[in-house]
Amino acid sequence: MLLAGDIGGTKTNLAIFSPERGAREPVAQKIYPSGQYPSLEAIVQEFLGSVHVPVERASFGVAGPVVNGHATITNLPWVMDEQQLQERLHIDRVRLLNDLEAIAHAVPFLQPVDLHTLNAGQPVQHGPIAVIAPGTGLGEAYLTWETSRYHPHTSEGGHTDFAPTNEQQIGLLRYLLARYDHISFERVCSGLGIPNLYTYLRDTGYAPEPTWLAQKLASADDLTPVIVKAALDENTPCELCSATLSLFVSILGAEAGNLALKVLSTGGVYLGGGIPPRILPLLQKGQFMQAFTHKGRFAELLNRMPVQVILHPEVALLGAAYHGFETHPD
């Protein structure tokens, strides 16, 4: 039996899988609020104590870098170590992998129902694949074909320097440089970054901030859902919020194109994370692909790359499970 988990700063999604049912049908599953627990061990012990199912190995996708079996969650004070987890949880084998690497593990197994096509392109068999995922942060990974299957590779590409592509984005960079020491793509292309785009447009006078919206934002713990909801309101969309998401889509398209060029992802580009499925109507309008292909002489190459939005709501958990089934004891 395999214990798999998607470990994030906001929530921890745990599930147990059997080889008979496979990675798409958990035997047991539960979601926990990460911030209410002192450690991953505490959550796992509570979960295993409630389901009474013995597990032999575990695979956890974590929202942070993993180096030599050691990991920290970017937005939590947890420290995790594979050997320590094995000993404390009495599990024979525990593996930690970056959450984007977990998503990448799932990509080769995704079905048509799990995806929405933004650009059909002309996929090259066994060509490299790029994965970019704006959620709370911005994750990036890629896959290469080796021997007989795709192998995922992790990165921290979301923390590379933000590169503006037009006058409005140059203004955004200048605005943020007065407030932060380093402006990464994550700072402007994630759930954490959307409020930065909003305040830039508001403070530079793009459009007035409605009183009702200012009141909602003042009382909200997380500004991003409020901004996104106001932008997507079919009856009375907020002009300022709509402009915020439009700017977000352009930046996401440009950075997805950057990643596609860096790994030469002729096998396709996959958009993961929680934001793309929520703003699918905006991604379909063409602005994303326009920014994605706006690379001078390489525009045609990028236009041939398939671009898909991952719709599966638990793709990181799915990938952690596939990783666990692929990984056998030494």
Q: Mind listing the pLDDT tens digit for each residue in 1-23?
A: 999 999 988 899 999 999 999 99
> What pLDDT does residue 8 have?
86
> What pLDDT does residue 327 have?
63
> What pLDDT does residue 255 have?
98
Q: Which domains does the chain have, with CATH numbers?
A: 2-104 (3.30.420.40), 111-311 (3.40.367.20)
Q: Mind listing the pLDDT tens digit for each residue in 213-222?
A: 999 999 999 9
> What pLDDT does residue 154 have?
87
> What pLDDT does residue 329 have?
39
Q: Please, where are the H alpha helices in the chain? A: 40-51, 82-89, 99-106, 167-177, 194-203, 211-219, 223-232, 239-263, 275-278, 280-283, 287-293, 299-303, 315-326
Enumerate residue ranges in the chain where pLDDT < 70: 327-330
Which residues lie below 8 Å from residue 318, measured CB to CB, with a gap of 6+? 23, 24, 106, 109, 312
Three-state secondary-structure class, residue 231: helix
> What pLDDT does residue 75 have?
73
pTM, two decimal places: 0.92
Encoding tokens for residue 258?
A: 């950057």
> What pLDDT does residue 328 have?
45
> What pLDDT does residue 4 have?
98
> What pLDDT does residue 313 have?
93
